Amino acid sequence: MKALRALLAIVAALGVLASGAAFAQRPPTTSQEARTAAEAPLAVELAPPPRIGVATMSPGTIFFERFGHNAIVVDDPANDRPLSYNFGFFDMEEDGFIGRFVRGEMMYRLVELPLTDDLRYYEESGRGVRMQWLALDETQARSIAAALAENAKPENARYRYEYFTDNCATRVRDAIDRALGGGILEKQLKSRSQGNTYRSEAVRLASPAPWMWLGFDLGLGPAADAPLSRWEDAYVPMRLADSLRDVRLPDGRPLVSADRTLLPHRIAPEPAEFQPVWWRWTLGGLVLAGLWLALRAYAPRTAAALALGVWVVAALLGAVMLFVWLGTEHRFGWANRNLLLLGPHCALLWPGAWRALRGREPGRVFRIALTATVALATLSLFVYWITAGSAAAFQANAHWIGALLPIHAAFAFAWLRPSASVQPSSGG
């Protein structure tokens, strides 16, 4: 017990001596720890600020590469190599991925990785990469670098992806705008427009893949046809890069101080402007309608089989469009007026078409359903006409109306005119 007390007394005495020695020293910064703590902020202030750049990757050949890509590059002298902050990562193996994809509830995340690692994929796939270094001041550069590092932490990295309004390019755009103090980038880009729409850009970039082009053009509703400012255009990475080149800082200097090609583009180039010509589609629809009527005169059962095929496809496509509207968060597909041309109601025509295919009378229900189908198709033309002057309500589907309305009219002419009758034939 005495030994323990003695030990405690020694410890207490040493503590008093140590504290007394510490208080006796003047100034306290002579200790190594205090000196290091005092010098740390000064070292940060004296270190060169990071360079901030925007890397723009050209479109690839896989469906999720068709729109290109953006990343922010932070080249900090304090690090041994530049870092790429990439907002375009997703995990197909994640639980519920397919369901969220279908419902429009995709989760993406920001990933920090060495620029060389990020570029390797694009080099191997032949996709070009363009680097634009930004003329940010020291405070702005440090601000965006710190914000990205914080955002890339696992607890902060995930975000709800929205194809047109919250993607890898818009996240880059918004990060730059915040670093500039908020409003500089947005103000300059929102005051300009190139006349693009979400639909026109999506259809243009998807055009090398017909199935993808068809999905966008048929599946998008009127919300995709409002004219875009260049701020909204920036959902396309290449449009963002072009817009950054035109932005000016408050002192008149260009935002982009240097524009370099890091990797050459070795595959098919970015698609050019693409705009369906409505009268060509209308001419095609008239020709197909005329050919079908001619075929029905000689082979009515074959013609009925073709009509049944059209109505099966129409009903299935319509069911998908209706599901997108009522069952998903894909809001740019809501209220799609192509449902008037290709709708689930076409399934009501299947039994009568099957009877006509067998050489029998289609029946009264078939005639009622066919009357409703051609009436809805005609209504689509009227709706297009009355909304043509409204940016908020207009849907650019004149080419689909031109192609499909003549075909619906041909079916109605064949089966609804008073003298129409099914003539069994061995032909076809």
Q: Which pLDDT score is estimated for 92? A: 83
**Confidence check: pLDDT of 28 > 90:** no
Distance CA(162)–CA(403), nearest Å, equals 31
Q: CA torsion sign, 226 to 232 to 237 to 242?
A: positive
State whether residue 202 is helix, strand or coil: helix
Q: What backbone phi and psi angles, to 5 degrees, belong to 246?
A: -95, -5
Q: Which CATH number is correct for 51-193+229-263, 3.30.1490, 3.10.28, 3.40.1000, 3.90.1720?
A: 3.90.1720
Distance CA(332)–CA(56), nearest Å, equals 25
Residue 392 pLDDT grade (very low, low, confident, very high; cuts 50, 70, 90): confident
Q: Which pLDDT score is estimated for 40? A: 46
- Which of 26-30, 240-244, 255-259, 357-361 has the weakest average pLDDT? 26-30
Q: Which pLDDT score is estimated for 46? A: 60
Residue 419, CA distances (Å) to 283, 413, 414 in order = 27, 10, 9
Residue 9 pLDDT grade (very low, low, confident, very high; cuts 50, 70, 90): very low
Please confirm whether the linkage preceding 27 is cis (ω < 30° from 0): yes
Residue 297 host element (H or E): helix 278-298
Q: Which pLDDT score is estimated for 180? A: 95
263 vs 21, more confident: 263
Q: Which pLDDT score is estimated for 2? A: 38
**Confidence check: pLDDT of 202 > 90:** yes
Torsion of CA 211, 214, 216, 222, to 10 degrees: -170
Per-residue pLDDT reduced to its tens digit, 171-189? 999 999 999 998 899 999 9
Q: Are the CB atoms for 397 and 333 separated by under 8 Å?
A: no
Q: Which pLDDT score is estimated for 32? A: 52
Per-residue pLDDT reduced to its tens digit, 407-423? 999 999 999 987 655 45
Q: Which pLDDT score is estimated for 206? A: 96
Per-residue pLDDT reduced to its tens digit, 151-161? 999 999 999 99
- Mean pLDDT for the chain overall: 89
The boundaries of every CATH 3.90.1720 domain in the chain are 51-193+229-263
Q: Which pLDDT score is estimated for 16? A: 33
Residue 80: alpha-carbon gap to chain centroid: 34
Q: What is the mean pLDDT of residues 90-98?
A: 85
Nearest one of 101, 97, 70 to 86, comparing CA atoms: 70
